[in-house]
Structure formats: structure tokens, C-alpha cells
Amino acid sequence: MKTILSIDPLKNELKKLREQNRSIGFVPTMGFLHEGHLSLVRESKKENDRTVVSIFVNPAQFAPHEDFDSYPRDMKKDSEMLEEMGVDILFCPAAAEIYPGGYATYVEVEKLGNVLCGKSRENHFRGVTTVVLKLFNIVGPTRAYFGRKDAQQAIIIKKMVTDLNLDVVIRTAPIARDVDGLALSSRNVYLSAEERKAALQMPAALQRAKAKIDEGFRDALAVKKMIREELKKNPSIEIDYVEVASLDRLEDAVVINPGNTLVAAAIRVGKTRLIDNFILGEI
Ligand code: PAF
């Protein structure tokens, strides 16, 4: 595995691969890798001649009061894991190269970025789409891989790719979960044992709602209420949102369409913000 720290040497390396007609799979990450990331790497390796992974904790997607400074980082362990998986190139740029002094250009997907997580995380998706577009321009991937835990992120990136006629295929992979059911997230490391127990209420509530829908239940408002009530049973959970929305437009659903629905929740347990969802349909 080659570890490359700046843009020009990476572009040179990738230019050579493109000249040899090699397909390039790209997995953008913020590091502190877990099985969710590794499943994306595995998919990329299956589908492409070469796999590039980036690790960049993107300041533009954190609000000033959020956890940019304390976001978990372990470059040595990440690098060892990726090497072991047979990743070809690891790209770890410095923030000053991605956002040099005077940086002024942002890309924003309207509407989709203002709902769900976008309501409480102002400018978050603008930061995500900006860095992802920059990384796509730098890497020039054939295919890029995103997890469905961040379903809204994947939907927004797909929309950006369509709207801006980008030449990259977006693939998504299912949520990876720990044995207890908690969706894997780099932020899970913040949770105490007590908090983790509380956080498990979220996958449990979503699972119950999914079972109800699988039985034929279609009332979106009742499903939201049911999930909220489950979550409220634990006083250490602060609900950010529970939403039932169309997958394609992320608009509030009234009747659940079993081929086009996202059921998503975000909670805070202590200082940790966690998200989870299930998807009826394809993204
Ligand atoms: O999902 C993430 O880890 C980040 O939002 C991404 C896509 C790497 C952009 O910084």
C-alpha cells in the first residue's frame, strides 16, 4: 500500500492507472475505521482493479460547537488495517491543502440537505458534498462507496453526482452492526457502558417499527410515534428527530411506500450524537 499525503503525487499515480485502463474504487473516510468501512473496502476490491481509501477529518462538515477536535483518530491502526486488506493507495491530505487560505468555494444540494440531520447540523451536508466533490476531482474514481447508516449523506451525494454529471458510480453498503445491534460508528467510542445500553434502545425501536411495517402497517405518523415512545422510555436519550420520509426526495411520508421509504432517527446520549435507520427500497 502506498500512503500519499498530498494531491499532486496522488494525481500522478492515478493518471498512470487510468492510462492503463484500470478501474479505480474509492472509499472516502474520516478514519478510526470499523467493520462498516472495511465492508466498503471489500466491495471496492471486488469490483475494481485498484482501491483508494482517503482518511480526512473534514473540518467543513463540523459546526464550531461539534466534535472536530475530539473526533477519534488512530492513523497507525487504520493504516495497518488497510494494508492488511490489500488497499492500493491510502490518501491522507492535510487540511491546509484541501482548504488553503482564502478557500471560498462550496457545493450544496438544495432541500435534501436541510431536512433530517441537516435541521440540527447547519452546513454539515454542504461540508460533506464540498469535500466529496473535491476528492472525486482529485481521485477520479470509477466507483465510490458509502455506508447506508448515513443514508441521507448517500442520497445527497447521488443527487450531486446526477446534477453535476459526474462520471462516477455511487455504491452503497448495508449498515454494519455490533453483536448487540448498535450500528457501528467511530463515535461509539465516546459511549460509557451505561450510555451504550441506552443507545441500544434506538436499533430496538427501529427493529420493532420495521416488523410492524413488514406486517403491512402503513401509517407513517403512527410509526414515528411508536419509535418516539420507545425511545422516551429511557430518560438518558434526547431525541433529535424521528422521521419517515420518501427515499428519493426525503419528504415527510404520510402513507408508507414499501419501495421508497427511509425511517431514520437521531438521538443524543450524553455528549454523543448517534444515527440509525432502515430503508425500504433502494439507494
Ligand atoms: O461519511 C464520512 O465519513 C464523511 O462524511 C465523508 C463521506 C468521508 C466525507 O468527509
- Cell numbers 495497518 label which residue? 80
Question: What number of other Cβ atoms are within 10 A of residue 233's Cβ?
Answer: 11
**Maximum distance among all alpha carbons in the chain?**
58
Residue 159 and residue 109 in contact, taking contact as beta carbons nearer than 8 Å: yes
Alpha carbon nearest to ligand 1 atom 1, residue: 29
- Rounded to 5 degrees, φ, ψ at 276 are -160, 165
Atom of ligand 1 nearest to the CA of 186: 3
29 C-alpha vs ligand 1 centroid, how far in Å? 5
Residue of 58, 90, 133, 171 to test ligand 1 pocket, by largest number of atoms within 8 Å of CB: 58
CA of 30 to the centre of ligand 1 (A): 6
Q: How far apart are the CA of 90 and the centre of ligand 1, in A?
A: 15
Residue 194: what pLDDT?
Answer: 97
- C-alpha–C-alpha distance, residues 199 and 32, integer Å: 20
Whether 36 contacts 145, CB under 8 Å: no
What's CA 38's distance to the chain center, in Å?
13
Q: What pLDDT shows up at residue 207? A: 98
Task: Express as a percent the part of the chain with pLDDT over 70.
Answer: 100
Residue nearest to atom 6 of ligand 1 (CA): 29
- The atom number, within ligand 1, closest to the CA of 61 reads 10
Pick from 121, 150, 157 the residue to mutate for probing ligand 1's pocket: most ligand atoms within 8 Å of its CB.
150
Type and span of the H or E element at 162: helix 151-163
Segments in the chain below pLDDT 50? none
Going along 76-168, which residue ranges are E strands? 89-91, 143-147
Chain centre to alpha carbon of residue 79: 20
Confidence at residue 174, expressed as pLDDT on a 0 to 100 scale: 98
Q: pLDDT for 39-60, tens place per residue?
A: 999 999 999 999 999 999 999 9
Phi, psi of 263 (to 5 degrees): -110, 115
Out of 132, 170, 184, 186, mutate this one to test ligand 1's pocket (max ligand atoms within 8 Å of CB): namely 132
CA 128 to ligand 1 center in whole angstroms: 6
Who lines ligand 1 at CB under 6 A?
28-30, 58, 61, 128, 131-132, 150, 153
Residue 13: predicted pLDDT: 97
Gap from CA of 56 to ligand 1 centroid (Å): 8
Residue 5, C-beta contacts closer than 8 angstroms, at least 6 positions apart: 91, 92, 93, 94
Distance 228 CA to ligand 1 centre (A): 28
Ligand 1: nearest atom to the Cα of 128 = 9
Q: Please tell me the distance from the alpha carbon of residue 196 to that of residue 182, in angstroms, as a whole number.
A: 8
The yes-or-no answer on residue 37 being catalytic is: yes
104-113 contacts, C-beta under 8 A, 24 or more apart = 105/130, 106/60, 106/130, 107/133, 107/160, 107/164, 109/156, 109/159, 109/160, 109/163, 111/249, 111/250, 112/152, 112/155, 112/156, 112/159, 112/249, 112/250, 113/156
How far is the C-alpha of 262 from the C-alpha of 101, rounded, in Å?
39
Strands 237-246 and 24-29, bridge-based pairing: unpaired
Task: Kindly report, residue by residue over 199-209, the tens digit of the pLDDT.
Answer: 999 999 999 99
Counting from 1 in the atom list of ligand 1, the atom nearest the Cα of 135 is 9
Q: pLDDT tens-digit profile of 77-114?
A: 999 999 999 999 999 999 999 999 999 999 999 999 99
State how far Cα 280 lies from the chain centre: 18
